[in-house]
């Protein structure tokens, strides 16, 4: 298995384990988002914090990365029942892209693309 893909797979598993502990109560809205990297650079850090927070939560990718052309499914539910989240991606070239007020209750996919 390619080392990058293996690293991503391990990280996704770790993120899934972390997210299981944040399961929403029955009847809550789905806050799972597939994040797709359609840029020319690897995403090395990814953050999702509800808009009521003053700081970014932990790096969801942890030790993993999101290579160009790959995707990862993330449950961004933090237990607050919030639907609006800010996303921040940090790329291997140091660039950071922040996207504000993403409604994770109404989308299933979020794409990072070249602008």
Phi-psi region of 62 (alpha: psi -120 to 50; beta: other; left: phi over 0): left
pLDDT in tens, 83-110: 999 999 999 999 999 999 999 999 999 9
Cβ-Cβ contacts under 8 Å for 81 (sequence gap 6 or more)? 24, 28, 29
Structure-block tokens of residue 114: 């070249």
pLDDT at 7: 47
Instruction: Identify the structural domains of the chain with CATH numbers, from first to last.
Output: 3-20+30-113 (2.60.40)
Query: Regarding beta strands 109-113 and 32-38, do their DSSP bridges make them parallel or antiparallel, or are they unpaired?
Result: parallel
Q: pTM of whole model > 0.85?
A: no
The predicted-structure confidence for 48-74, as pLDDT tens digits, reads as follows 999 989 999 899 999 999 999 999 999
State pLDDT tens for residues 8-62: 444 444 444 344 444 444 445 778 999 999 999 999 999 999 998 999 989 999 9
């Amino acid at each position: 298995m390619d080392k990058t893909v293996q690293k991503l797979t391990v990280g996704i598993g770790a993120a899934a384990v972390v997210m299981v502990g944040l399961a929403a109560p029955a009847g809550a809205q789905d806050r799972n988002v597939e994040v797709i990297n359609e840029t020319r650079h690897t995403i090395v850090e990814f953050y999702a914090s509800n808009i009521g927070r003053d700081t970014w939560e932990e790096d969801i990718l942890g030790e993993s990365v999101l290579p160009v052309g790959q995707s990862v499914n993330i449950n961004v539910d933090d237990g607050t029942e919030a639907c609006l989240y800010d996303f921040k991606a940090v790329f291997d070239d140091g660039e950071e892209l922040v996207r504000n007020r993403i409604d994770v209750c109404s989308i299933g996919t979020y794409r990072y693309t070249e602008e």
